[in-house]
Amino acid sequence: MSTQYERYQRRAAEVPLATAEYIAFASRDTFLGVPARRLDQLTDDPAEVVILGAPFDWGTTYRPGARFGPKAIREADYGAMDGYRPHLPTGIDPLGTLGVVDIGDVFVVPGQVELSLERITEVVERVARTGKVPLVLGGDHTITFADATGVARVHGFGQVALIHFDAHADTGEHQNDQLYGHGTPMRRLVESGAVPGHRFVQIGLRGYWPEPEVVEWMRSQDMRFYLMSDIEERGLRTVVDEAVAYASRGGVKGVFISVDIDVVDPGMAPGTGTPEPGGLTSRQLLDAVRRLAKELVVLGADVVEVSPPYDTAEVTAYLANRVVLEILNGMAERKLGV
């Protein structure tokens, strides 16, 4: 007779998406009530954007809890769960304009970093191969290596730009002698060729890491990065102008947007694993991601490092929810040509 452990391992090998039966922290509901779909239903579905969760936080180095992020982001809303959200400034309902569906959470395997990343990569790639845009709810920032790799497998290694909002560069050579963790995903993307250095733009960096040798490596890879001091001196609008220009050069096919919620000052986003004072305001972040999604072709996106156990009155989860909506609204504006 099979043991429970053997049944779990067999289940993990057979199915890409999680159920509450096996992962208690997996999400149950869809993002803002959009239609639920199975992965194998996407090919014939007219939706343009697919929400999926990656409840993974075994790459964290300080405060855990980001595995609960997808659930919190999906549930952070005060309106009726009817899948209808008109954007007040534009009057656009991005959910309806684009067609958005939710396929649930990837079946990650707790404690197994590389296997979980492989599974996330596989699901993101399968979504992208249907011609749809995967939008991933994290999870710690380790998952961006998987997310962007899955997109690059479809659109071409070296052909996807990555715009990265974060307090931290995440370009460490290793993390506790391991290749994979939330301090290393951008280094792994550059080294793999999925997203070369000259396709990177990083916004909001600050604090006391990484060390000078890593910063010099970033410069040697032609990575473009903006410190919070740059934003204060030059203004966020100018920085975003340059990010759009940099991410568009050289015939790139489109952009992957990665938002670590700790790019925002922890006074406005306390529910995160590695808070760093002195960041963007929530308003600045929302305006910036909407503009990027309007002015660039979005091939994929993720929102990561929401840690509900450290959240206060769910303000971080609400912000992450609205980051997703603003990305979607920018994409809808681009589609409609407004």
Tens digit of each residue's pLDDT (9 = 90 or more) over 141-170: 999 999 999 999 999 999 999 999 999 999
Extract the runs of DSSP E, i.e. beta strands, from 213-321: 224-227, 254-260, 298-304
CATH, residue 253: 3.40.800.10
Q: What is the mean pLDDT of the chain?
A: 93
Three-state SS string across 183-212, please? CCHHHHHHHHCCCCHHHEEEEEECCCCCCH
Q: What is the residue range of 71's domain?
A: 4-336
Mean pLDDT of 233-245: 97
Which range in 15-24, 47-56, 171-180 is most confidently predicted, on average pLDDT?
Answer: 47-56
Confidence of residue 111 (pLDDT cuts 50, 70, 90): confident
Name the pTM for this structure: 0.93
Would the pLDDT of 21 be above 60? no
CB neighbours of 322 closer than 8 A, spacing ≥ 6? Answer: 282, 286
Mean pLDDT of 16-29: 68
Task: Indicate the number of domains in the chain.
Answer: 1
